[in-house]
Amino acid sequence: MATPGVGWIPYPDVREKDARTIDITSDSSDMRIFGITLIVIGILAFALPYFTFTKREKVLDIGPIEAVTESKESIPVSPIVGIVIVAAGAILVASSVVKDRK
């Protein structure tokens, strides 16, 4: 078992530049994919003003007899949430493009 000491790096994706700074390498294509995913989710938040799901509750449970009720519930999604998600995705895509040019 290796003991922490000089030159020991706790994670494989962390590279030490010097004693004061640590450079965490990230792939810009991952940032771009995540940004595009956020943009799609943000557009869906605009298109669907609410999120609907079915909730099941046990009403009666006596031996082999069960009674279950199903009710549809909706959670409203604010358009502001969609704007924030699209903006975050656009920032990630733009920053990955700028990073590729350097």
How much of the chain exceeds pLDDT 70, in percent?
Answer: 73
The structure tokens listed for 57 are 């509750």
**Domain-located, residue 93:** yes
Q: Report if pTM > 0.85.
A: no
pLDDT along the chain (102 residues), means of 10: 54 51 62 92 89 89 88 90 94 85 71
Domain range enclosing 64: 26-101
Query: Cα(9)–Cα(101) distance, rounded to whole angstroms?
Result: 29
Residue 11 lies in a domain: no
For residue 20, the SS3 value is coil
91, part of any domain: yes
Indicate the number of domains in the chain.
Answer: 1
pLDDT of residue 58: 87
